[in-house]
Amino acid sequence: MSGALTKTEAAARRKRLARERERRRLVRLHRYESDARERGFRLVAGMDEVGRGPLAGPVVAACVVTDRPLMLRGLDDSKKVTAERRESLALEIRSHAVAWAIGEASVEEIERLNIYWASVLAMERALAALSAAPDFLLTDAVRIRSYAGEQLPVIKGDAKCATVAAASIVAKVHRDALLVELDRLHPEYGFADHKGYATAQHIAALERHGPCAHHRRQFWRVRDALLPFDVEPFAAERG
């Protein structure tokens, strides 16, 4: 009797091994959350922002509160997940979370505060919008001074903490949808494609049309593109 596996058996074995590898990865991804729960914290939240680097659009933060592990296949830093999978994961995250919320800081606030403090403002707004306050907060290397509970900023937290990764996905999906809507208002820039980032397509559109009211004029690429144009129409558009 041969000990060789049939093709069907071999395929089933590969699937089992893949599921086990993913389970172990997710367990490792929850190590900070597990440590917090072992210390007695029940509602553990992760928070992250997206949109610091783009030349246009708001910066968006999300906070996701959990009372148990998010063992969701493919959960990871939003930058490592395909757009299609991000959409489905965002739905799963929101349905499994105890609470979740979004916070935004506008282009005007980015220009007034600078991008770092505007990002913090978006995070504070996400925290304030939660229907259930967390006992313990994990962030992507940012300390939120307005949060009274215990928190742990983790460098590259979106790649190391499950709840921060979840927040990055929820924030990314929300912001991408905003830029798709912005594309309908200003199709000449291609916002639906590049989401406001400094791609060759976006830079070429900036040079051709000049910035619109939703561009961050303090960013040097936008500032340079603004020089050949009269700035007053953009100020008037912004209102």
DSSP 157-219: HHHH-HHHHHHHHHHHHHHHHHHHHHHHH-GGG-HHHHTT---HHHHHHHHHH---TTB-TTS
pLDDT at 87: 97
Q: Is this model's pTM higher than 0.95 or not?
A: no
Per-domain residue ranges for the chain?
7-181, 183-238
pLDDT value for 226: 82
Is residue 165 a contact partner of residue 29, using CB atoms and an 8 Å limit?
yes
> How many residues are listed for the chain in this entry?
239
Q: Please list the ranges in the chain whose pLDDT falls under 50.
A: 1, 233-239
CATH superfamily label, 7-181: Ribonuclease H-like superfamily/Ribonuclease H (3.30.420.10)
